[in-house]
């Protein structure tokens, strides 16, 4: 008879499905968190920054497009590197300076960067405007730099507490004065013109010597 098994099935019911143990999600490894931070910074289309003038409380928040893929060529600029090469100052021929830096290691907890600037005077060192940059920034452009002045720029990463702040990277450089650049360009242009004129004069003298002097010297004498 099928009645006893049917009654047992109604009393006890179908076996319950096996339950999986649910626990807290394991935290991501530091390497994965660092990779996510770098990926987010690479996808960021804007670099937020704030210029704080000397003696003022704060500045206005601005945004700029990062100059990704920029490479300093020997004809267009001159690169100056900090000890270790983490910070590079590309001094361009137009007097501007493009700063580039690598993300700190580890990058987890990074909140931004602080850029401090100073330059040498005759007897002392003077501070210039400082800049606060977002965590997505990897470069910054100094639009105008004074010629014949030695600059010192230090980049300090800012991290969330209680992590210790990484050491600052500093680079020093001197911008060639604009007047000297103009003199060099003018002398190069004048020198090239003089060389072309000398070559033309030499060719003219050779032509005169070859075609005018030789026939006169070799003409037959009359009886």
Q: What does the pLDDT average to over 10-22?
A: 48
CA 170 and chain centroid, separation: 14
Place of tokens 């700029």: 64
Distance from C-alpha of 97 to C-alpha of 78, rounded to nearest angstrom: 10
Question: Which segments of 128-177 does DSSP mark as H helices, in order?
Answer: none
> pLDDT for 64-112, tens place per residue?
998 888 888 888 889 999 998 899 999 998 888 999 998 887 777 889 9
**Could you tell me which residue, 155 or 182, shows the higher pLDDT?**
155
What's the number of domains the chain is made of?
Answer: 1
User: Are 157 and 165 within 8 A, CB to CB?
Assistant: yes
CATH number at residue 100: 2.60.40.10
pLDDT at residue 128 in the model: 86
What are the tokens at 174? 């001197």
Distance from C-alpha of 104 to C-alpha of 172, rounded to nearest angstrom: 20
> pLDDT for 113-143, tens place per residue?
999 999 887 788 888 889 999 998 999 999 8
Q: Domain range holding 119? A: 47-179
Closest CA to 135 of 216, 35, 46: 46
In a domain, 11, yes or no: no
In a domain, 155, yes or no: yes
> pLDDT for 135-145, tens place per residue?
989 999 998 88
In a domain, 131, yes or no: yes
């Amino acid at each position: 008879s099928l009645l006893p098994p049917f009654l047992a099935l109604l009393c006890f019911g179908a076996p319950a499905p096996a339950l999986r143990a649910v626990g807290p999600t394991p935290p991501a490894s530091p390497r994965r968190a660092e990779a996510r931070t770098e990926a987010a910074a690479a996808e960021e289309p804007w670099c937020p920054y704030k210029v704080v003038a000397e003696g003022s409380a704060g500045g206005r928040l601005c945004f700029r497009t990062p100059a990704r893929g920029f490479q300093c060529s020997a004809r267009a600029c001159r690169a100056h590197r900090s000890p270790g090469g983490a910070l590079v100052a590309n001094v361009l021929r137009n007097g501007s300076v493009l700063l580039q830096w690598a993300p700190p290691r580890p990058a987890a907890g990074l909140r931004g960067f602080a850029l401090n600037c100073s330059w040498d005077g005759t007897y002392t060192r003077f501070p210039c405007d400082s800049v606060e940059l977002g965590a997505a920034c990897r470069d910054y452009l100094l639009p105008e730099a004074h010629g014949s002045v030695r600059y010192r720029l230090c980049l300090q990463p800012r991290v969330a507490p209680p992590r210790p702040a990484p050491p600052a990277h500093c680079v020093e450089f001197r911008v060639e004065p604009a007047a000297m650049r103009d003199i060099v360009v003018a002398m190069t242009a004048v020198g090239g013109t003089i060389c072309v004129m000398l070559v033309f004069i030499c060719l003219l003298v050779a032509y005169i010597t070859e075609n005018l002097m030789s026939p006169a010297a070799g003409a037959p004498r009359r009886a």
